[in-house]
């Protein structure tokens, strides 16, 4: 079975690397080809290098100030050309990026089966997150195979009329990648990162959501500033996304704040080990909501809604929105109340056991056996 794996962004690469490696283990069953769209370039390349993902095609589509429309059209055209070259039996896409939606659509136009890894996540609000919520809602009915990370994700698919026979509950592949990296000893090359969390409680921040740009993002930054201003034993490390909407505001509000370290985006391996030594994580990201609980770290989500409600229900994560006051007060409660902190830190992570990629490979092996016999 010829499998084409399409990857566009850093999170996709992290979550698809274990899938590629697992499929490669079944080398008598699968011929695996990887295509990068490079919707993100620099951030993506870091992960490709770390996991040594073999890349056959690189569309290199990233361009300055590209719009969502640009990305969608360019991925659609680019993947269509690759499909004509490779003639795969199955195309695998991941999650909620514009790359994933457009690659699934290109596959549909060519009448090639597609599988959606991390299918079924929903917020039920089409603008939060934007454009990710609609990307995944459109990708699922296009795809033939749905790899749902949780029962809740499967329930979403069933409510939308997706056939149960097309759904496999796998757990989340990000846990596969995380456990591999976290179990490997690591020494920080950067002295600031090596020292972080040694003498003070470390809060790790990721914040870059498009729908938060403007007043909401300003309030998030002000909330972070209030945290360090009121807690001398706390420091923040914030790897700042290169998007000017993020970087300009973060530098203006946090650039002069004591014990706030604004750093360039951190490669995946040191980021995982930074999570390991953090006290808690403050984020508006998706994957971090799944990763940090596996390391026993409470996650405060700076969004109004999340497509990952399992972590909220399990108690490993909490929605704090983008209110300056609420962000500060919630973090302060976890800093002051050890019982509240431990309740979150010790809650069971609902996102899997590190074998999601194996379950995907096993499912495709069954498909290969029935379609190629």
The Cα–Cα gap between 149 and 173 comes to: 8
Catalytic choice (22, 86, 96, 226): 96
**Catalytic site includes residue 118:** yes
Catalytic choice (10, 40, 94, 241): 241
Rg (CA), the chain: 20
**Catalytic site includes residue 208:** yes
The Cα–Cα gap between 140 and 193 comes to: 40
Catalytic choice (116, 137, 146, 208): 208
How many other CB atoms sit within 10 Å of the CB of residue 26?
17
Distances from the Cα of 305 to the Cαs of 59, 78, 163, 300, 368, in angstroms? 33, 33, 27, 12, 38
Helix (H, G, I), strand (E, B) or coil at 61: coil
**Catalytic site includes residue 241:** yes
Residue 35: DSSP 8-state: E
**Catalytic site includes residue 132:** yes
**Catalytic site includes residue 12:** no
Q: Quick check: 6 and 106 in contact, CB under 8 A?
A: no
User: Can you list the positions of beta strands (E) in the chain?
Assistant: 2-7, 31-36, 57-58, 90-94, 113-117, 145-148, 167-169, 201-206, 234-239, 260-263, 280-283, 299-301, 317-319
| Residue 354 Cα to chain centre, angstroms | 16
- Which candidate, 341, 279, 337, 335, places its Cα nearest to that of 315? 341
Q: Render the burial of 260-291: b for 16+ CB within 10 Å, e for the rest.
A: bbbeebbbbbbbbbbbbbbbbbbbbbbbbbbb
Catalytic choice (12, 22, 86, 132): 132
Catalytic choice (89, 118, 133, 211): 118
| Residue 151 Cα to chain centre, angstroms | 19
Residue 267: DSSP 8-state: P
Catalytic choice (200, 210, 247, 261): 210
**Catalytic site includes residue 128:** no
Active site residues: 96, 118, 132, 208, 210, 241
């Amino acid at each position: 079975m010829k499998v084409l794996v399409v990857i566009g962004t850093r999170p996709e690469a992290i979550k698809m690397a274990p899938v590629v490696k697992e499929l490669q283990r079944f080398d008598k069953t699968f011929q695996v080809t990887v295509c990068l769209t490079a919707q993100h370039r620099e951030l993506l390349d870091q992960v490709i290098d770390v996991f040594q993902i073999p890349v056959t095609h690189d569309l290199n589509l990233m361009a300055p100030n590209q719009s969502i429309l640009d990305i969608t059209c360019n991925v659609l055209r680019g993947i269509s050309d690759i499909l004509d070259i490779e003639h795969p039996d199955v195309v695998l896409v991941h999650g909620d990026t514009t790359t994933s939606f457009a690659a699934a659509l290109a596959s549909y136009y060519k009448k090639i089966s597609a599988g959606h890894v991390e299918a079924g996540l929903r917020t039920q609000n089409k603008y939060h997150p934007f454009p990710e919520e609609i990307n995944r809602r459109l990708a699922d009915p296009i795809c033939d195979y749905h790899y749902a990370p949780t029962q809740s994700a499967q329930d979403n698919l069933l409510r939308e009329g997706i056939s149960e026979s097309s759904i496999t509950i796998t757990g989340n592949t990000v846990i596969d990648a995380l456990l591999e990296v976290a179990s490997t000893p690591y020494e920080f090359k950067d002295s600031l990162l090596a020292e972080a969390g040694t003498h003070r409680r470390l809060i790790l921040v990721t914040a870059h959501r498009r729908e938060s740009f403007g007043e909401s993002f300003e309030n998030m930054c002000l909330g972070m500033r209030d945290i360090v201003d009121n807690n001398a034993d706390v420091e923040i490390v914030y790897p700042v996304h290169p998007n000017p909407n993020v970087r300009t505001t973060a530098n203006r509000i946090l650039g002069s704040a004591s014990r706030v370290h604004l750093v360039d985006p951190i490669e995946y391996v040191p980021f995982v080990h930074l999570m390991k030594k953090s006290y808690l994580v403050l984020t508006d990201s998706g994957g971090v909501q799944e990763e940090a609980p596996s390391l026993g770290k409470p996650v405060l989500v700076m969004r109004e809604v999340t497509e990952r409600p399992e972590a909220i229900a399990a108690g490993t994560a909490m929605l704090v929105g983008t209110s300056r006051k609420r962000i500060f007060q919630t973090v302060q409660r976890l800093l002051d109340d050890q019982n509240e902190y431990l309740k979150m830190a010790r809650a069971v992570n609902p996102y899997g056991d590190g074998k999601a990629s194996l379950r995907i490979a096993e499912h495709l092996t069954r498909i290969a056996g029935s379609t190629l016999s």
